[in-house]
Structure 1
Amino acid sequence: MSRADHMDVAAYALGVLDPQDAERFEEHLATCWACAAELETMVPVVGLLSGIDGEAMAALEQTHTDPALLDRTLMAVRRDRRRTRMRQILAAAAAVVVFGGLSGAGIAGVFGGDDGKRIPQAEPTLTAPITAPPSPGPTASGPGIGGNEQEGDQHDATDPGTGVKTTMWLASKEYGTQIDLQLTRLPGPRTCRLVVVRKNATSEVVSTWSVPGGGYGTNTNQLPLELSASTSAPLKDIEKIQVQSVDVNGVASPLVTVADL
């Protein structure tokens, strides 16, 4: 994907792209978490400048906690693009000034910052397995624990090298295994994934997410990361479940492992 695709975020958020460029950018946005995160920081400001109504603002606010971040963000942006051309031009001019002052604080505002009022949540996505075919069973993803009593057996682990700590709840299902987990002491920024390793030596990536600069369960951001995923592998066939960090070259390294299954 060209560098220009990554630089169209502001233009798309303000609705100044022509239909062809907007469609091309939306295709790019569906596979680029970095642009999606940047777009999320711009939507609330653009909505404020363009006089977005109460119903639309409520929808934009939901994007901070709703796991279906991309779909809801696109819906809010498309509503803004129906505004008159004059309003879009005025919003673009004002945004140049506003973004100049917010560049250092925009991301902190989205992810909660120091006040802890907004709860950041990861948006897990199903990806292709490392060495095994895609799981035929359903995969539930998104925030899943939030203080409720958990289903399944609890497993706690802390990696002595990375210091990352996790609590996982594993429950056997007809389709496979349900996995709920909580992560703390997880520094950022980084990209992470959840990997299920079967006893037959095959592995499957069941969730991926990005970690903001403040991390989760750290001195900067004390809130833990909470998410759910599932696999078609029966619990009795799972050897271990591992949280991995993936660098820019796609090389993965373990952060914490639950192996007492």
Structure 2
Amino acid sequence: MSRADHMDVAAYALGVLDEHDTERFEEHLATCWACAAELETMVPVVGMLSDIDGETMTALEQTQTNPALLDRTLVSVRAHRRRTRFRQMLATAAAVVVFGGLTGVGFSTITEDSRPGVQAQPSIGAPSGPPVTSRPADPGDPPIGGPGSQPEGEKINETDATTGVEATFFVASKDFGTGVNFILGKLPGPRVCRLVVVRKNNTTEIISTWSVPGGGYGTNQSPGLLTLGAATSTPTSEIKHFQVQSVDANGVASPLVTVKPD
């Protein structure tokens, strides 16, 4: 069997022969057991060679008489196959990226939980229900601790004879120092106020500041009382007194009411 006949076997297997050459080869195939055997061995790899077109086969036939052309053809075929594989890998990677971006977590959920016998477990999160909102304390709110209750600590009532401001303090000794809750009334506004701790050694500490609106607190215009809380690191035993002060625009403070723990 000549080399040309062998090339005809490959070309016939790939279906690239024209009608005339196909008929001629089939006539030859009927009487040539060698070509028939060669054709049989090529059947399993026809799918692998199906991407080689007629031009490539023609080039391969020409290389039988030109070794240099054979080398160039082989290089070109190898490069073409590398480019084809590279494009296939890029296409596959792009598809994965696009699909993953569209499906997000759902993709991983499908791949992980679609196995037989695997059941998705309910997630544990925040309890359902209406959203929780908060609001600042209002002077009209119930007394500290709710109706019928009062904060812990020593209760002290005081009304300043000059300003008329009324104060109720609850002073509690704590491991961290002293906690204090206080209620103010007959406090006119507008003004800025602060609560000052005066120690027995005559040093002072500002532990709370707030603004009073125009209507004030516990007044005829605004009857609601002001309820606040504060804390200091100073032990109760070292406190001389608490003083509510009014501070003007220049930062000058004047006393409104003074409360002395027992």
Using the size of structure 1 for normalisation, the TM-score is 0.47
Tell me the TM-score normalized by structure 2: 0.47
Structure with bigger gyration radius: 2
